[in-house]
Amino acid sequence: MSLPPRPAVRSAATAPDAGAKAEVIQPADYQYQDRRAEPRQDCDDRGALLFMSEKQVVSCRIMDQSPSGARVTFNNAGPIPAEIWLIDLDTHMARRGSAAWSTPTRMGLKFNFVQTLVPGQPRPARIPQDVFDAWKKLSGQIKNAPPPPPGDDVLYLD
């Protein structure tokens, strides 16, 4: 039994014009499968991504979340570190995790630690001081701190 001929592989020299449209062909039985362990709940919470290795805080919107992950949007954040803290300013939750996927303005996060932060209470033992201080500043609990200027989406930890 002979196999059908394989299509020729095109190199840059033989590729069609840049203006030509590519046709994406998928098998008829292909279905997108959500690989999340838990369903996500839609939300539109104010948040902040903390990149501890860079001492950087990036304002974000939390679009959906579950106990084990979230999808966030932000202005371009630059390189994404391995460890990320997400502070939900509307629910006072701090979550540590990593990027499951990212684009220049969106990211999916997978959490490995979650802690509720209570206004007026001391820092929980497992929350780094920089994360706790950023939460207090961003949630308006530090009265002497000036509010961030409008449109400034990147803050740096002191």
Overall number of domains in the chain? 1
The CATH number linked to 122 is 2.40.10
The pLDDT tens digits along the chain (158 residues) read 555 555 554 444 444 444 555 554 444 444 444 555 677 889 999 999 999 888 899 999 999 999 899 999 999 778 899 999 999 999 999 999 999 999 999 999 999 999 999 999 999 999 999 999 999 999 998 766 555 555 555 555 54
Which amino acid, one-letter code, is at 85? W
Q: Is 105 left (phi over 0), alpha (psi -120 to 50) or beta?
A: alpha
Domain that holds residue 118: 41-140+151-156
34 in a structural domain: no
Q: Is residue 8 part of a domain?
A: no
- Give bridge partners of residue 59 from the DSSP assignment: 48
Cα(51)–Cα(134) distance, integer angstroms? 11
In a domain, 48, yes or no: yes
Is residue 78, in this structure, part of any structural domain at all? yes
Report d(CA 110, CA 99) in Å as an integer: 6
In a domain, 15, yes or no: no
Q: Mapping DSSP to helix (H, G, I), strand (E, B) and coil, where does residue 13 land?
A: coil
Q: Is residue 121 part of a domain?
A: yes
Please report whether residue 125 resides in a domain.
Answer: yes
CB 87 within 8 A of CB 124: no
Q: Does the residue 17 lie in any domain?
A: no
Distance (Å, rounded) from C-alpha 24 to C-alpha 2? 27
Tokens 């001081």 — which residue?
Answer: 129
